[in-house]
């Protein structure tokens, strides 16, 4: 017997209602598909944001420039990031040592100093023209600034200042927040600063290193009364090893006559790295008698998690393999912990990067990312046509893998340049945020009525 299947006969009204349901269902499918397509386009657009692009959420199109908010001259030499992500930039502001603080969105932090800016008044008799050469943040959030008076009308000295988180000088530090030191009784000026993990502060330059306690007093356990001689007159970089030893890079041997050669005028002199023990004495087990040769005009240095040392400086790009012309380029050299060149890095220990169309190229800063990659930053541009006439130049960055190879996922083939209209521009310091984004700090010269005026420029780039 066949099984009978009975179906209900639908009325015309029921058929019409069912048809409407199917139609709505199909429309929903179409809407869902369209939404999925739109969402895919949006997600794809976000995914296409490439490492090395300017971060449009920062400043104006990724850039902050002091001329947009201030009318005085300014120049930046150092940067450090606070724990809350705010950016502390230091250098010379309005012919005085100055510090400014930016919010994470690239605007001046009005809760700091006056409108986001602090002018540090140096002790009477030291003159003007001072600048902050290094800045660091202590574990309590206070800001330590190393100050040079090399261009002042008064005597040169090592100056150290400590600011409260509000920007006010910390009265518990030194004398009213300031410490003045004449190393070995001479008029000398610092060029670099480092903050040790134990809170002690190092200032180095002009053939000496000075170490201070957290209170600002000279550390009697370092060198002689807190001052130790070093083998370099021109100090351009300082880095700390995990065992407490101190690495100092620069150019030129120390001279017995004082004052030493002017700071930052030794680009033609071969660079050197020296290593010192925690007490300030030279570590003769490093390199040859405590020193190792490095790229000319070594300008920046980092210590990798393995303990290996990477130094950056200007180097002839024609030395690259294959040669890429006679222009200067970014040069990175890696050393083993004993001071010998690590031939596993780059090409036989050296990584050379040229920027096409920019014969005058030099790295001035170097920073480590959390994954071991490195950001080299500086300037790329043509050679000035004559002395004293600035040539147009740009911010220049390159990202390297820990092995010394260019990271081709960054910018264009591992390189990024940022022009500032018809102005000159260069990066002097760089820092990596906790989210991987890159903060580059430097200067841009704006031609105002035929007179070049310096401005602090801060750019933030996507790190990934």
The whole-number pLDDT of residue 320 equals 46
The whole-number pLDDT of residue 254 equals 37
Tens of pLDDT, residue by residue over 106-127, are 999 999 999 999 999 887 666 5
Beta-carbon contacts of residue 397 (< 8 Å; ≥ 6 apart) = 52, 375, 376, 377, 411, 415, 416, 417, 427, 430, 438, 440, 461
The whole-number pLDDT of residue 390 equals 55
Q: How far is CA 447 from the centre of its chain?
A: 25
Tens of pLDDT, residue by residue over 10-23, are 344 443 444 443 34
The pLDDT of residue 198 is above 80 = yes
The pLDDT of residue 437 is above 60 = yes
Tokens of 136: 């660091």
Query: What confidence tier does 339 reach under pLDDT thresholds 50, 70, 90?
Result: very high
Q: Which residue has the higher pLDDT, 105 or 361?
A: 105
Q: For the stretch 334-343, what's the b/e string if a residue is b when 16 or more beta carbons lie within 10 angstroms of its beta carbon?
A: bbbbebebbe
Q: What SS3 string covers 431-449?
A: EECCCCCEEEEEEEEEEEC
- In 3D, which of 378, 370, 399, 346 has the Cα closest to residue 443? 378
DSSP labels, 153-214: SS---EEEEEE-TTS-B-TTTTBTTEEEE-GGGS-----EEEE-TTS-EEEEETTEEEEE-T
The whole-number pLDDT of residue 153 equals 60
The pLDDT of residue 41 is above 60 = no
pTM of the predicted structure, to 2 decimals = 0.83
The whole-number pLDDT of residue 3 equals 34
What is the percentage of the chain residues whose pLDDT exceeds 90? 61
Tens of pLDDT, residue by residue over 49-98, are 799 999 999 999 999 999 866 667 889 999 999 999 999 999 999 878 99
What is the percentage of the chain residues whose pLDDT exceeds 70? 75
What mean pLDDT comes out for the span 369-385? Answer: 86
The whole-number pLDDT of residue 445 equals 81
Q: Which residue has the higher pLDDT, 319 or 441?
A: 441
Rounded-to-integer distance, Cα 390 and Cα 426, Å: 12
The pLDDT of residue 341 is above 50 = yes
Q: Which residue has the higher pLDDT, 51 or 384?
A: 51
Q: For the stretch 127-154, what's the b/e string if a residue is b when 16 or more beta carbons lie within 10 angstroms of its beta carbon?
A: ebbbbbbbbbbeeeebbbbbbbbbebeb
The whole-number pLDDT of residue 406 equals 97
The pLDDT of residue 410 is above 50 = yes
Q: Which residue has the higher pLDDT, 248 or 450?
A: 248
Query: For residue 373, which phi and psi values (nearest 5 degrees)?
Result: -65, 160
Q: Which residue has the higher pLDDT, 128 or 370?
A: 370
The whole-number pLDDT of residue 329 equals 83
The whole-number pLDDT of residue 242 equals 96
Averaged pLDDT score across all residues of the chain: 82
The whole-number pLDDT of residue 423 equals 80
Query: What confidence tier does 447 reach under pLDDT thresholds 50, 70, 90?
Result: low
Query: What confidence tier does 355 reach under pLDDT thresholds 50, 70, 90?
Result: confident
């Amino acid at each position: 017997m066949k099984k009978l299947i009975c179906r209900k006969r639908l009325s015309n009204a029921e058929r019409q209602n069912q048809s409407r349901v199917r139609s709505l269902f199909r429309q929903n499918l179409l809407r869902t598909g369209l939404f999925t397509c739109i969402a895919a386009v949006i997600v794809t657009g976000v995914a296409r944001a490439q490492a090395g692009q300017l971060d449009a959420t920062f400043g104006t199109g990724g850039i902050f420039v002091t001329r947009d908010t201030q009318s005085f001259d300014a120049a930046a030499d150092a940067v450090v990031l606070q724990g809350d992500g705010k950016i502390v930039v230091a250098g010379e502001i309005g012919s005085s040592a100055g510090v400014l603080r930016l919010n994470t969105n690239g605007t001046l932090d009005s809760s700091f100093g006056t409108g986001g800016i602090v002018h540090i008044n140096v002790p009477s008799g030291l003159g003007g023209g001072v600048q902050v050469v290094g800045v660091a943040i202590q574990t309590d959030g206070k800001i330590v600034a190393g100050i040079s008076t090399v261009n002042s009308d008064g005597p040169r000295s090592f100056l150290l200042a400590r600011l409260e988180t509000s920007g006010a000088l910390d009265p518990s530090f030194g004398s009213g927040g300031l410490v003045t030191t004449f190393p070995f009784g001479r008029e000398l000026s610092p060029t670099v600063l480092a903050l040790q993990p134990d809170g002690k502060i190092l200032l180095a330059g002009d053939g000496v290193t000075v170490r201070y306690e957290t209170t600002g007093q000279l550390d009697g356990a370092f060198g002689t009364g807190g001052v130790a001689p070093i083998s370099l007159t021109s100090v351009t970089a300082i880095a700390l090893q995990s065992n407490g030893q101190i690495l100092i890079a620069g150019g030129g041997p120390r001279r017995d006559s004082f004052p030493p050669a002017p700071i930052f005028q030794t680009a033609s002199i071969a660079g050197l790295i020296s290593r010192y023990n925690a007490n300030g004495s030279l570590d003769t087990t490093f390199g040859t008698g405590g020193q190792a040769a490095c790229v000319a005009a070594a300008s920046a240095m980092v210590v990798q998690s393995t303990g290996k040392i990477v130094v950056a400086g200007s180097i002839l790009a024609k030395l690259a393999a294959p040669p890429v012309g006679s222009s200067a380029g970014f040069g990175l050299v890696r050393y083993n912990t004993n001071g010998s060149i690590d031939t596993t890095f780059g090409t036989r220990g050296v990584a050379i990067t040229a920027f096409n169309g920019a014969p005058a190229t030099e790295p001035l800063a170097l920073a480590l990312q959390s994954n071991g990659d490195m950001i080299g930053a500086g300037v790329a541009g043509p050679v000035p046509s004559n002395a004293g006439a600035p040539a147009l130049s740009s911010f220049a960055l390159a990202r390297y893998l820990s092995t010394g190879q260019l990271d081709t996922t960054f910018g264009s083939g591992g390189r990024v340049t940022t022009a500032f209209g018809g102005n000159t521009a260069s990066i002097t310091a760089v820092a990596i945020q906790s989210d991987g984004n890159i903060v580059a700090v430097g200067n841009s010269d704006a031609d105002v009525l035929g007179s070049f005026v310096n401005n602090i420029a801060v750019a933030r780039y996507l790190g990934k």
